[in-house]
Structure 1
Amino acid sequence: MRIPKHIGIIPDGNRRWAVEKGMGKEKGYQEGISPGMELYRICKEMGVEELTFYGFTVDNTKRPSVQREAFSQACVDAVEELAKEDAELLVLGNGESAMFPEELKPYTVRRTFGKGGMKINFLVNYSWEWDFCYHRGAIGPELRTAEVSRIDLVIRWGGRRRLSGFLPVQTVYADMYVLEDYWPDFKPEHVEEAVAWYSGQDVTLGG
């Protein structure tokens, strides 16, 4: 089976999951941490070299404060859990904004934890405008996520069939696999099915 070198993860559906369980929308975010750790271990076992998680976007910060605080804390907790593993960890996003968690600022330079190995990128308070240094209709001279490699496969939970601004340069040739299940309902088979599907695709990169 052909294993993608770099997988992008869009862990969607937390709020819808919480509502269906009779909870407040904000209760769904913490439920995404355990699935993320399980996914990391599965991908490491498969030999995936790089993994990028979509934490929250600048647009997400427009949500009610109780939700905003909940997803921000969930991202902090997730990064701190990943820092206990063997990984080379980097958090990317607008760190100059008040919406960027102070606890994550030490991770905005790639750091090696444990034995290192897999590169893990975690997008927090991210937007394509920030990435492209976009200002007043003009794109700046650099890409702020330039050290993140091209993504081979994007897996999105929650049934939405869009990238939602997720790393537009790195996903330019990515295959996209969509799961109807919500992210808190993660199962190992989700990744196995997505990688098996990817393995059957004719990847030509335009050639």
Structure 2
Amino acid sequence: MKNRKPMHIGIIPDGNRRWAEQHKLSREAGYAYGLKPGLLLLQQAKTYGIQEITYYGFTVDNCRRPKEQVQAFQQACVQAVHDLATEGVDLLVIGNTDSKCFPEELKKYTNRTAINGGGIRLNFLVNYGWKWDLSNIKSAGFLHSSDISRIDMVIRWGGMRRLSGFLPVQSVYADFYVEEKLWPDYEKSDFYRAMDWYKKQDVTYGG
């Protein structure tokens, strides 16, 4: 299908620590270099006609890393959400707010909020865990992430070929594209290359 495009894309921005090491920086210094790529990609997605986008910030498992790294990616996620919110978006931050790892500054966005007039649905996973997400089904009958739609395509930077617990229910039929480049090295061409790849995929959903 020549004009096939994903309505909802998931973004796993991996490789920040490896990038920092390659540039002779401390591991925790790498997270700040992922801020500009996130905003650029959002702007491209809006222009391209994507309706919903979900960024993977950090997981509950990431909180076992050294204190300096945890503080660095927490701060980067807070800044990323603030930067992304400068666009016209319908913003939702999803994650375990009962944990002290969840940044206090982001709790005001845990209900979907129209920013600057609203627009593309923007989801940001912060202190997210797939077990935490699924646990709500047993107690309440629905996912914590129930306001996030099914994902058409997941794009992961950094060369790793795994979902790392990224929205397992919404990703059940997602096409999975891997970019070998590390996230801080993001370029506009990365997005268009991924979209061109998606157009060529055959989707039957089991039919």
Task: Compute the TM-score of the two structures, normalised by the length of structure 1.
Answer: 0.96
Residue 115 of structure 1 and its aligned partner are, at CA, apart by 2.4
Q: State the percentage of identical aligned residues.
A: 55
SS, match of residue 132 in structure 1: helix
SS, match of residue 25 in structure 2: coil
One-letter amino acid matched to 1:62: R
Q: Which residues in structure 2 correspond to 1:107-122 (within 5 Å)?
A: 107-122=109-124
Structure 1 position 28 matched with structure 2 position 30:
yes
Residue 178 of structure 1 and its aligned partner are, at CA, apart by 0.2
The corresponding residue for 1:45 is 47
1:54-79 deviation digits (Å, cap 9, x = unpaired)? 00000000000000000000000000
One-letter amino acid matched to 2:16: N
Q: Which residues in structure 2 correspond to 1:166-181 (within 5 Å)?
A: 166-181=166-181
The corresponding residue for 1:57 is 59
The corresponding residue for 2:94 is 92
Cα separation, 2, equivalents of 1:139 and 1:178: 33
SS, match of residue 129 in structure 1: helix
One-letter amino acid matched to 1:15: R
Residue 142 of structure 1 and its aligned partner are, at CA, apart by 2.1
Cα separation, 2, equivalents of 1:131 and 1:77: 24
SS, match of residue 29 in structure 1: helix
The corresponding residue for 2:127 is 125
Runs of 4+ in 1 over 4 A off after TM superposition: none
The corresponding residue for 2:183 is 183
Q: Which residues in structure 2 correspond to 1:77-88 (within 5 Å)?
A: 77-88=79-90
1:84-110 deviation digits (Å, cap 9, x = unpaired)? 110000000000101100000000011
CA root-mean-square deviation: 1.1
Residue 83 of structure 1 and its aligned partner are, at CA, apart by 1.4
Name stretches of at least 5 consecutive residues in structure 2 with no aligned partner.
none
Cα separation, 1, equivalents of 2:178 and 2:15: 12
SS, match of residue 52 in structure 1: strand
Cα separation, 2, equivalents of 1:2 and 1:185: 27
The corresponding residue for 1:153 is 153
1:116-175 deviation digits (Å, cap 9, x = unpaired)? 1100000000001110117xxx94432110110000000000000000000000000000
SS, match of residue 90 in structure 1: strand
The corresponding residue for 1:69 is 71
The corresponding residue for 2:107 is 105
Cα separation, 1, equivalents of 2:138 and 2:127: 19
Cα separation, 2, equivalents of 1:90 and 1:96: 17
Structure 1 position 162 matched with structure 2 position 166:
no
Task: Compute the TM-score of the two structures, normalised by the length of structure 2.
Answer: 0.96
Q: How many residues in Structure 1 have an aligned counterpart in Structure 2?
A: 204
The corresponding residue for 2:4 is 2
